[in-house]
């Protein structure tokens, strides 16, 4: 790897990492406002225009708090858990292809807008997602409090149950693209057709998409599967004993999980950066510059926004499941269905139907 390559890598990592942090900050505002709209309210609209500076105010408040840990906690793990969770959540973004197209900007040839095009990107993303759960579990354990421990316990069981379904729901797409690289998967639907139509994988695997959606909710600890937090039952669940920036790190990681899982969902089921009806985005020119990278990035972000809106919508609607029903639903409904659709897809793929 040349020096320029390494510099590029750092630049991209820096850019994506920081942009994602900005998006996270906005996410807290977006979620609160959207939730309000779903409840006939207005939400935070006082700080700055439309309340846009609310995240900054929250950040300032959290930063000014003491870096505090109760006496009974395991000090090292208590500090390490949020950092670890945040790291894992952030690492997933290394392999999410926000845009595949090469920028050709003012004669500069810049690399595609993703930090690392791993050939085992899916594995990496899932592993990092799963590892992030350890932060929650360790944080709950290290807090040495019964509520935190119960939250961690639930997170643990839930993670195991739904991680399987999540992976199985993604499996059909992997089989159809026969690749673990995110870029291959994002453009993989072009290799499959119904007539002359190359639909996104959501059409090929609608059941997989539905299961992915539900499992993603559980994976990101979102309502109605937010049992690890469960503020009505467990005070704050695993982050009961957390405050200030340590708590902020957990909240940050939770939203990053949400964004990451949305990005993965877009890549897998919504055709990545592709725009329907626009087969060759490179053909769209504006002032002699190809708009392909912008279109790609834009379409990816719009699709991610769709996922996020859906997640918030679901959170605004559905109450939290009872814990035993969560387990029953995971093991006795979702897992069999996921297995079934894997078998069906395996049959289709092995017969080569729709290939071309």
What's the closest the beta carbon of residue 144 comes to another protein, in angstroms? 39
Minimal distance, residue 207 CB to another protein, in Å: 11
Among 13, 23, 38, 74, binds another protein (CB under 8 A): 38
Do the beta carbons of residue 316 and residue 130 sit within 8 Å? no
Of the pair 10, 313, the CB lying nearest another protein is at: 313
What is residue 96's three-state secondary structure? Answer: coil
For another protein, how many residues bind (rule: CB under 8 A)? 14
CA angle 115, 15, 244 (to 5 degrees): 110
Binding mask 258-297 for another protein (x = CB under 8 A): ----------------------------------------
- Cα angle value 186/191/197 (rounded, 5°): 100
Q: Which is nearer to another protein, 36 or 339 (CB)?
A: 36
Q: Does 49 bind another protein (CB under 8 A)?
A: no
Q: Which of 36, 110, 181, 187 binds another protein (CB under 8 A)?
A: 36
Nearer to another protein, 193 or 317 (CB): 317
Q: What are phi and psi of 292, to 5 degrees?
A: -55, -45
Token pair belonging to 29: 């505002």
Residue with Cβ nearer another protein (42 or 194): 42
Nearer to another protein, 119 or 317 (CB): 317
Cα-Cα end-to-end distance for the chain: 35
Stretch that binds another protein, among 34-42, 128-136, 146-154, 161-169 (CB under 8 A): 34-42
Contacts of 91 (CB under 8 A, 6+ apart): 124, 128
Cis peptide upstream of residue 224 (ω within 30 degrees of 0): yes
- Distance of alpha carbon 53 from the chain centroid: 24
Least Å from the CB of residue 224 to another protein: 10
Shortest separation between residue 50's beta carbon and another protein, angstroms: 13
Those residues whose C-beta lies under 8 Å from the C-beta of residue 106, and which sit 6 or more positions away, are none
Closer to another protein at the Cβ: 102 or 320?
Answer: 320
Q: Does 37 bind another protein (CB under 8 A)?
A: yes
Residues 292-351 that bind another protein (CB under 8 A): 313-314, 316-318, 333
Q: Can you tell me the distance from the alpha carbon of 234 to that of 81, in angstroms, rounded to the nearest whole number?
A: 19
Neighbours of 333 (CB within 10 A): 14
Q: Could you tell me the smallest distance in angstroms from the CB atom of residue 331 to another protein? A: 13
Distance CA 144, CA 72 (A): 6
Beta strands in the chain (DSSP E): 103-105, 108-110, 285-286, 289-290
C-alpha angle 133/135/137, rounded to 5°? Answer: 70
Task: Choose which of 19, 22, 42, 105 interacts with another protein (CB under 8 A).
Answer: 42
Is 41 a binding residue for another protein by CB under 8 A? The answer is yes
Q: Binder to another protein among 4, 40, 106, 197 (CB under 8 A)?
A: 40
Stretch that binds another protein, among 37-45, 83-91, 142-150, 172-180 (CB under 8 A): 37-45
Give the torsion sign (CA, 243, 249, 252, 257): negative
Residues contributing to the site for another protein (CB under 8 A): 34, 36-42, 313-314, 316-318, 333
């Amino acid at each position: 790897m040349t020096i320029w390559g390494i510099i590029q890598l750092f630049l991209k990592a820096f850019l994506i990492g920081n942009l994602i942090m900005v998006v996270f900050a906005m996410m807290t505002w977006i979620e609160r406002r959207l939730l309000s709209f779903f409840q006939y309210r207005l939400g935070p609209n006082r700080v700055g225009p439309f309340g846009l500076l609310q995240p900054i105010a929250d950040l300032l408040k959290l930063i000014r708090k003491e870096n505090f840990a109760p006496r009974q906690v395991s000090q090292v793990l208590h500090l390490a858990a949020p950092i670890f969770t945040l790291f894992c959540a952030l690492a997933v973004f290394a392999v999410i292809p926000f845009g595949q197209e090469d920028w050709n900007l003012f004669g500069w040839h810049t690399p595609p807008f993703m930090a690392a095009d791993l050939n085992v990107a899916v594995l990496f993303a899932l592993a990092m997602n799963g590892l992030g759960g350890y932060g929650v579990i360790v944080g709950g354990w290290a807090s040495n409090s019964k509520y935190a421990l119960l939250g961690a316990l639930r997170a643990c069981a839930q993670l195991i149950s739904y991680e399987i379904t999540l992976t199985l729901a993604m499996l059909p797409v992997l089989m159809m693209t026969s690749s673990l690289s995110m870029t291959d998967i994002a453009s993989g639907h072009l290799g499959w057709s119904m007539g002359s139509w190359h639909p996104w994988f959501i059409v090929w695997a609608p059941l997989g998409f539905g299961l992915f959606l539900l499992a993603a909710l559980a994976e990101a600890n979102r309502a109605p599967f937010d049992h690890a937090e469960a503020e009505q039952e467990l005070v704050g669940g695993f982050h009961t004993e957390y405050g200030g920036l340590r708590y902020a790190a957990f909240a940050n990681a939770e939203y990053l999980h949400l964004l990451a899982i949305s990005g993965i969902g877009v890549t897998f089921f919504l055709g990545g950066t592709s725009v329907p009806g626009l087969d060759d985005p490179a053909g769209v020119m504006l002032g002699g510059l190809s708009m392909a990278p912008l279109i790609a990035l834009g379409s990816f972000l719009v699709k991610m926004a769709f996922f996020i809106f859906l997640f918030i919508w679901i959170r605004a609607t559905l109450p939290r499941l009872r814990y035993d029903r969560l387990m029953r639903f995971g093991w006795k409904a979702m897992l069999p269905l996921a297995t079934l659709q894997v078998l069906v897809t395996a049959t289709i793929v092995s017969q080569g139907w729709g290939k071309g």
